[in-house]
């Protein structure tokens, strides 16, 4: 398997035919500023899919990921996956006895074909150590990084940005790993108290937290600017774990297969399609669903749910992609989606425009200049229905009402982001297919809003009680690429 950049540069001095998985694992952005994708999507047949029904999560992950990773020996990859996806790591679910499933499917309304009910379910993705779906990919990334770095006898310095969950997931996955330092940027005072405590209370020597006085988009722009400084990136061995990293997106593809198989487990529904509703701000989570669909997984509909920062919803409704300025990006009660410039969107648009890097370079030249683009009235937008996307948005009032409704009707407490997904997914339900809502986090991460919605605090794992009272270590600075560079240089000597 070889990889190409969305902006056209696929060859390198070492690999004229394109880089391998292990090469792009450590790199993040392509040298031309684009994002990596496989040169073609591997295909999964219906018969293969049926053979996977009895597999464990780690076994299913091998079947999916081995199609993207052919430069790690099969036995080594299997061992990495076995070590990653264990009941001990993903032990924070609602039903402890189901921890071995890794991503249990929780039916809110079971399918009832006789009554024309397609069914409504939540796919639990947040049972890992930081209570967020990001753990599904990040725990694997930590093991992959350590493995590849040891093989190559190298070290790497991770630079990332987080709107809430990526940071803690990355830090918990990388803490104590040999050959890895983590520099994580977050928006100052724009995350929940629990999210801040998860990150800032870590005192491992290889973990460095930086809070910038701005939004997530500001932090993300700094990461991209550093990544595009080739001399600095090479000197300090800068890598990425944000969702721009292809390995993270690939790892997330797995749970779409798992969710599909769990939602269609009844006999006689081999040809059944499934819809997935995905809370999305940076487009990484739902991009993985797009890739799974391109591989042949029978996904009938991909429902993109945004909060008040509805840049992506606006595009899927109008064809206009209009990133917002910092001053226009709202701080909401689903803060992990307070994003107005979706990094992974470039991957989908690359497919939408027929994988033409010339078009992508032109479109993202406008984006990088602080503008957007308009595909309305173009042949590209006419192709949009081929990809199965629909969208919607949710507000704070919607969020509270959805959280209350889920608790009253199903006896289930859900977090604010999952509430966005449930609200929008419910609007797009049909009798023909189950609607599976991808859980984003556990409610404990957003205690303040849970109290506002339900008048009660959510439960949290015993190991995380009182985390907000632990000593915190973070460096606060202005939005400045150069200041971040100087900080990294000082820490690395």
Q: Would you say 264 and 46 are in contact if contact means Cβ atoms under 8 Å apart? A: no
Sequence-separated (6 or more) residues with CB below 8 Å from residue 107: 119, 120, 121
What one-character-per-residue DSSP string does 352-397 give?
HTTS-HHHHHHHHHHHHTT--EE-TTSHHHHTGGGGTEEEEE--HH
> Which residue in 162, 198, 183, 187 sits closest to 476, CA to CA?
187
φ/ψ of residue 467, rounded to 5: -65, -30
Residue 4 to residue 408: CA distance in whole angstroms:
48
Sequence-separated (6 or more) residues with CB below 8 Å from residue 25: 144, 145, 148, 245, 246, 247
Q: How many helices and strands in the chain, by DSSP H and E?
A: 19, 15
CA distances (Å), origin 52, targets 41, 305, 366: 19, 29, 43
- CA angle centred on 164, ends 162 and 169, rounded to 5°: 75
Q: Would you say 333 and 449 are in contact if contact means Cβ atoms under 8 Å apart? A: yes
57-63, long-range: CB < 8 A, 24+ apart: 57/85, 57/101, 57/102, 57/103, 57/254, 57/258, 58/82, 58/84, 58/85, 58/86, 60/254, 60/257, 60/258, 60/261, 61/85, 61/140, 61/251, 61/254
Match 């032990």 to its residue by tokens. Answer: 91
Residue 125 to residue 252: CA distance in whole angstroms:
10
Match 């800068």 to its residue by tokens. Answer: 238
Match 């990150």 to its residue by tokens. Answer: 199
Q: Is 134 an annotated catalytic residue?
A: yes
Q: Would you say 382 and 411 are in contact if contact means Cβ atoms under 8 Å apart? A: no
For 454, other C-beta atoms within 10 Å of its C-beta total 17
Q: Active site residue: 134, 233, 258, 485, which one?
A: 134
CA distances (Å), origin 191, targets 5, 163, 198: 32, 7, 11
Residue 363 to residue 193: CA distance in whole angstroms:
37
CA distances (Å), origin 373, targets 202, 320, 324, 349, 386: 41, 6, 12, 11, 21
Sequence-separated (6 or more) residues with CB below 8 Å from residue 349: 321, 360, 363
Q: Which residues are catalytic?
A: 134
């Amino acid at each position: 398997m070889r990889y190409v950049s969305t902006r056209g540069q696929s060859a390198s001095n070492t690999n004229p035919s394109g880089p391998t998985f292990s090469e792009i694992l450590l790199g993040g952005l392509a040298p031309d500023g684009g994002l990596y994708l496989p040169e073609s999507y591997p295909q999964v047949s219906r018969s293969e899919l049926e053979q996977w029904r009895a597999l464990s999560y780690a076994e299913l992950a091998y079947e999916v990921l081995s199609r993207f990773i052919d430069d790690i020996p099969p036995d080594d990859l299997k061992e990495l996956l076995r070590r990653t996806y264990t009941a001990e790591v993903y032990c924070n679910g609602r039903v402890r006895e189901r921890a071995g499933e890794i991503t249990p499917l929780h039916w809110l309304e079971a399918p009832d074909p006789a009554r024309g009910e397609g069914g409504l379910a939540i796919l639990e993705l947040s049972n890992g150590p930081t209570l967020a779906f990001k753990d599904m990919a990040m725990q694997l990334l930590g093991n992959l990084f350590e493995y590849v770095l040891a093989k190559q006898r190298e070290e790497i310095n991770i630079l990332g940005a987080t709107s809430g969950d990526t940071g803690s997931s990355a830090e918990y996955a990388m803490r104590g790993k040999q050959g890895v330092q983590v520099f994580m940027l977050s928006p100052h005072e724009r995350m929940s108290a629990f999210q801040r405590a998860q990150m800032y209370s870590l005192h491992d020597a290889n973990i460095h937290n930086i809070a910038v006085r701005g939004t997530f988009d500001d932090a993300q722009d700094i990461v991209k600017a550093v990544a595009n400084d080739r001399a600095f990136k090479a000197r300090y061995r800068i890598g990425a774990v944000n969702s721009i990293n292809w390995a993270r997106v690939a790892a997330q593809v797995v749970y779409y297969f798992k969710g599909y198989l769990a939602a269609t487990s009844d006999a006689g529904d081999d040809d059944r399609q499934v819809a997935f509703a995905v809370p999305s701000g940076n487009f990484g989570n739902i991009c993985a669903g797009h890739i799974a669909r391109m591989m042949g997984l029978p996904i009938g509909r991909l429902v993109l749910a945004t909060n008040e920062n509805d840049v992506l919803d606006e595009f899927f409704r109008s064809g206009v992609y209009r990133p917002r300025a910092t001053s226009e990006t709202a701080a909401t009660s689903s803060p992990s989606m307070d994003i107005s410039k979706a990094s992974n969107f470039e991957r989908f648009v690359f497919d939408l425009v027929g994988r033409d890097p010339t078009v992508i370079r032109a479109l993202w030249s406008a984006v990088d200049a602080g503008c957007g683009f308009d595909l309305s009235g173009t042949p590209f937008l006419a192709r949009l229905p081929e990809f199965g996307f629909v969208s919607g948005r949710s507000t704070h009032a919607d969020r509270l009402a959805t959280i209350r409704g889920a608790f009253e009707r199903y006896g289930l407490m859900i977090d604010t982001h999952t509430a966005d997904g449930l609200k929008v997914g419910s609007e797009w339900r049909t009798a023909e297919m189950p609607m599976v809502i991808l859980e984003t986090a556990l409610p404990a991460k957003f205690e303040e809003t849970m109290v506002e919605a339900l008048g009660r605090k959510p439960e949290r794992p015993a190991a995380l009680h009182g985390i907000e009272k632990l000593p915190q270590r973070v460096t606060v600075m202005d939005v400045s690429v150069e200041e971040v560079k100087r900080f990294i240089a000082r820490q690395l000597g």
